[in-house]
Structure formats: C-alpha cells, structure tokens
Chain A
Amino acid sequence: MQGSTIIFYLLAVLTLGSGLLAVITRQIFRAAIFLLFSLIGIAGLYFWMQYEFIAAVQIVIYVGGITVLIIFSIFLTQQAGEKLSKPIMGRQLFSALAAFCGFALVMLQLVKHNFNASIENPLPPTVNNIGTQMLGVDEGGYSLPFEVVSILLLAALIGCIVIALKAKPETT
C-alpha cells in the first residue's frame, strides 16, 4: 500500500469523523472545534489532489475566518458551560432515516454511473493560470462573475453592519 493512499484514508476519516461529531456533540464550543478539524481535513484533501491554491484559500477563509467568527458569536450569545438541549427522539430518528435514505440513493446512482474523463492535455492549476483566467475578459474568462462577487461581498458586509448595529435610544 502506498503512502498517498494511507494519507488519503486518514484525511477521509478525519473529515467524516469530526464532521459527524460536530453535528452530534451537545456542547456547542466542542461542535465548533470539531467543525474546525473537519474543515482542515477538507483542506488536506485539496492538498492531496494537488490543488494547493484552493487548499490555501480554504485554510485562510474557512479555518481562519468563518470558524473564528462562529466561535466569537458563541461567546457572545451562549452561557458558558451550558449544554444544548437534547433533540427529541422521534426527530432524531427520522432525520437519521432521511439522511441515510438520501445517502443510499445518491450512492446507488453513483456506483451505477460511469464517468468519462476527457483526454485532452491537463492544465495545471497554478496560481498563474488561475489568475490569468479569472481576470480574463475573452472567451472563458471570469472577470464578470469576479466583479459581481466583489459587489455582493461589499453589500453583505454593509448589510451585516446595519443589521448588527445597536439601535440608538431616541433622544427628544
């Protein structure tokens, strides 16, 4: 067995195991930490597939940004040491059943389907190629979605500030 195979399965176990623990643990802070490990496992899978740029983006934005944001909001809204209420048994059962049925359906389709890979020359996902195509304006360029996403991010950030702003008491 090759080393890369072992690393792949270790990353898979890390991702799925901590993802599962993140949704079933009853302490919200632990859930956030398990989510962090799951996201790190996914970044490791990107590294394993040799998409280094996207792995770095994943670590910077998800692990460094969103998880820290979630942990801060836990501190702001949760009493320390308080456990989450246990979900109702019936709801737990039916959710597990629904998730398992969906999983089984997708996996059945997946093992029956035969994927055809294209045989053209691979384009390596280097930062150079990514940058050239992302800001390109000719055929296959992504500069318009890039600008749209920039505007969306700006609008979302302004919206956050407006929503989270504390309403000033009316002074007469």
Chain B
Amino acid sequence: MMQPGLYQILFISTALFFIGVYGFFTRRNLITMLMSVELILNSVNLNFIAFNKYLWPEKLDGLFFTIFIIAIAAAEAAVAIAIIINLYRSHHSIDVEQAEEMKY
C-alpha cells in the first residue's frame, strides 16, 4: 500500500466534494441539502490544511482560511436552519419543490 501523502489526502477531499455534490443534486429535502453543503465545505477545509502542511509548511495561511471557513459555515448553517424553520411554520413542508413561491 502507498505511503499516505498529499495525493492521498487530495483524493479523499475530491471524493468527499463530489459525494456532497451528488447529495445536493439528488436530495429534495432542505435539511439533507444543508448536510451535503457541509460535506462540501469540509472537503475544502481538508484541501487547505493538506496544502498548508505539505507545500507551504513555513506559513499558516491555509490554517487561517480553514478557521474562517468554519466560522462562516457555522453562520450559514444557523441562518439556513432559521429559514427552514420559518418555511416549515408557513408551509408545513421543507421540500424544495413545494417552496417555489420563495422566489416571489
């Protein structure tokens, strides 16, 4: 088996990204779509950390990007769940097919 290095970690993060993309395409429930977005954001974080460790170990920039992405993802999840709860209260459903008047 190969010694794990940058390529193996990039393979994991790529696979996780496209798993998230697949979930985002197939799911029609807002909460599960939010979970797919979390997977995508996590794969990006893993990418930043891997590049920071293997290519530029004398800097910490990738780590700061990861911290800021985590903070913004937390804010995004909170806002999304507030919107979902409000939508459920008015429509009694969180299916995206039935939420089409959100755009008007």
Which residues of A are in contact with B by a Cβ distance under 8 Å? 1, 4-5, 8-9, 12, 15-16, 19-20, 22-24, 28, 31-32, 35, 38-39, 42, 45-46, 49-51, 53-54, 57-58, 61-62, 65-66, 69-70, 73-74, 76-78, 84-85, 87, 91-92, 94-96, 98-100, 102-103, 106-107, 110-111, 115-118, 120-123, 125, 129-130, 133-134, 140, 142, 145, 149, 152-153, 156-157, 159-161, 163-164, 166
Chain A residues in 8 Å Cβ range of B50: 49
B75 within 8 Å of A (CB atoms): yes
Closest to A155 in B: B75
A7 to B73, CA, bound (A): 28
Across chains A and B, the number of contacting residue pairs, with CB separation under 8 Å, is 213
A120 to B57, CA, bound (A): 8
Cβ B79 vs Cβ A160 within 8 A:
yes
A125 to B34, CA, bound (A): 31
A102 to B6, CA, bound (A): 20
Closest 4 CB pairs of A and B: A23-B23, A95-B25, A156-B75, A122-B57
Report which residue of B66, B85, B89 has the largest number of chain A beta carbons within 10 angstroms of its beta carbon. B85
Which residues of B are in contact with A by a Cβ distance under 8 Å? 1, 3-4, 6-12, 14-16, 18-23, 25-29, 31-32, 34-36, 38-39, 42, 45-46, 49-50, 52-60, 63-64, 66-68, 70-79, 81-86, 88-89, 94
A8 to B76, CA, bound (A): 30
Cβ B64 vs Cβ A16 within 8 A:
no
Chain A residues in 8 Å Cβ range of B1: 1, 5, 9
23 contacts between A and B (CB under 8 A): A16-B16, A19-B16, A22-B39, A28-B29, A32-B35, A35-B35, A38-B42, A42-B46, A46-B49, A50-B53, A54-B63, A61-B74, A65-B74, A66-B73, A66-B77, A74-B31, A76-B88, A103-B15, A111-B7, A117-B56, A118-B58, A125-B52, A161-B82
